[in-house]
Structure 1
Amino acid sequence: MTEAPDATPETGPVPRSDAPPHPWRGRLRAVLTVLILALVGYLGGMITTNLWPISTETDNFRATVRVTPSLLQTSVVHAPTVFGDIDMHFAGALPAPGIEARLQVKEEITDLFTQGRVDVAELTPEDGEVRAAMESGLRELGLKFVGGVLLTQAAVVGLYLTGRSRPPWRHPVIAIGTATALAVTVPSLAAVTTYRTANFAAYEATSLLGTVRSNSGLFTDIQGQAQKATPYVQNLLALSDALQQEFVPAETAAQPGARFLLISDMHGMNYYPLIQQIVQDEQITAVIDTGDLVNFGRPQEGELAGIYTAIEDLGVPYVFVRGNHDALYRTDEAVLRRLDQIPNVILLEPTDGEFVEATIDGVRITGYNDWRYFAQVGVDFKAEQEVAAERFATATQGWPLPDILASHQPFGLDQLETGAVTVNGHMHSPALNDNHIQMGTFSGGGLVNHFQVPQTQEGDDTAGELVGQPYAFDILSFGTDCSVQSLTRYTYRNLVSGRPQFDNVTIINGNRVAAPAEEGRTCGPELGVETTPITPTPAE
């Protein structure tokens, strides 16, 4: 007798489906299970290193090290201190787990300092000492991480077996084994391939150097100032210097062929005594200013502030392109004519449509003016800048590509070719996008972009300070092979109140900014300064 199909009073017979389940659903479920188990294992390893961090030390310093849970610190060695943070950024093929190392000075060293028996120079770790301590610590950290992964997966297995008399074992064992291998192998491979000197991208110190330089001039001798500071700061400076020497690549720290101070948007403020001090202390080859020297387009502003005399007193070439605040109308060249009277000033576009190449210590620099003017309205600024860039490209057709291409605004630079970097100001905010360097404002945007903090209470550090855009500048170094060596970025504050402090110092490896220069070139001070009018070479 044939059985009737299932039926219900409402719908009648229900047909049975003999079609097999879709195989991809099972595979997808298996893959998701493995990924979830791998993530659980990774979290277990990370939590283990945080609950029981490892300890590593040199002769003078001790550090507790753990895997950081923050996704924002991927491929970063982060060293927080009470005086600021030290971050070393790496750029590997795989994003590596972030590492946090909490530094402290050994108690016996601090005791010696209180007795005046140790000089700061004696605290500098010996060659390889920091690296050996870190490698030893990372090995131990890796073992603890792996142990945490295995314990976590063992706990997962235990939970799976709970309450089961005869559980299936083949598929769970394969899934847990694969997940464990992923949780261990992927982070380990990422860490091993990322945390190498060749992958070093940037060194950043926040507040640390600013604390030492409080109540002193910028860029005075760090060690000399540190002798007057607390023993703890002295120790941190010695460690910071050792980390830079150990992990900043040799080509980045080598003797440069040329060093350029990049500034912009002075807006009528005579901070040139500070610039002169930077030029001397940092052995600057030349200053590159991308415009907005004054506020209202009148050269008299610079005269009243003593800017032109101060520029001449710098004693190094001063390369300049006009900004949108440096004229009263499009064809107004009064500020340019006044700057042209200063012996060390080099105008890259001395008059409308005529361009100059400056070769300084072998580094080729070109650029073009911003032909906007003060209080200009009703114009598509981006389109206008693109037209200016196209005009520059036509006028320099067939000319060798520059190492530095300068203009005030960023909008037209993107469509121009250059051998190395482009630099611009105008935005009052430092930024870096591949080979495009956008400078902040050296003067914080000048008086017209600030408001003054009132006296709120006696001894208030910010009372009387001008608050607005942050102060910022860059130092761009070229090697003796004419390749970009490094970009060092500074932001600072409390300049007007006479207590300048650094907020941030970042050293960026040159190979992260631009490709190496063509082979066979040399750069250095023996090549001197040369200016050449640019003449286009029509395409054949």
Structure 2
Amino acid sequence: MPANAPHPWLRALGLVTVVIAGAWLGLLTVGDVRVPVGPVNTTMTLRPSLSGGTKINVSPLGALRLDSHTAPVRLDVNVDQLDPERAQALVDHPERLSGLQDEVAHDVEHGTFDLALRSTVAVVAGATALGLAVYRRPRRALAAGGLALALLAVSGASAYATWNPKSVLEPRFSGLLSSAPSLVGDARSIVTEFDVYQRELARLVTNVTKLYDVTSTLPAYQPDPTTIRVLHVSDIHLNPASWKITASLVEQYKVDVIVDSGDTMDHGTAAENGFLDPVADLGVPYVWVRGNHDSLTTQHRLERMKNVHVLDDGRAETVAGLRFAGIGDPQFTPDRSAATGGDAAERLAGA
């Protein structure tokens, strides 16, 4: 071996690095599979992970995670939209709801099979292409592709061996879906009372489809060039999903100014101020007035942001061509079980 030749272990480590990077790029580029599951359209993909499992994203409501398997890959499922034609078919033929569970299971099985095939091609192609770009030798590139296929096979075997179908009974919710167990009951109650939930699902699908039918026939709104779009938000109370939803509405409806009428916080403490950071990235003026859950500490934090206009003491400001005036709530009462707070409560919030 030449004196300047790299150690075999270093060459092997370099090859593994190229394989992992190429496989990841392949999955990111062409690894998605669009799958209709029951009345909704979904996108499935595999992502590298240290713990495995399944993540189901229901934007903008949040996500739920399942400990479905242990492997270096995670299954991501994005719920994109409700398909109006399939939903209408369920409304027109409610007897199909009795077979909806089997239909969903079949759709998921079919989608998982398609995802496995597509992911295999994506992983091998990505690792081979990156191997050829790095080493510029076809044999090394093919070795990279073969190693990627072997790693994917091991990951699949690990997922199969550790597959836990009961994980659906213990999902972990995030975002607005965190309230799901208290709203619809836990997964075990859904299983034991499936007939009740089946009837409720029929009502839900019916209502959503009727709403779609009505809105789809409304005339398209053609705003005047001088139209000013105002988005009103209130009582956010540290909701972690609020800023993503707000940003989505700003972009979708070309909002000119946001008006927040308070109670952005829960207790108005200095520790909560970091929650306000995304306000600076919304890209439009933000008019804010203090609520009874917001302290002067909260107000001072917002006053330092360039796009925020704080209203208090009856002051009026012209923002986006509109005149706004407001007075912050004179009572700071984040805890209704305690007496109405004054200076002492404000000092405690700023501690």
TM range (shorter): 0.3 to 0.5
Greater C-alpha radius of gyration: 1
Q: Which has the higher helix share?
A: 2
- TM-score of the superposed pair, with normalisation by structure 1: 0.31
Q: Which has the higher strand share?
A: 1
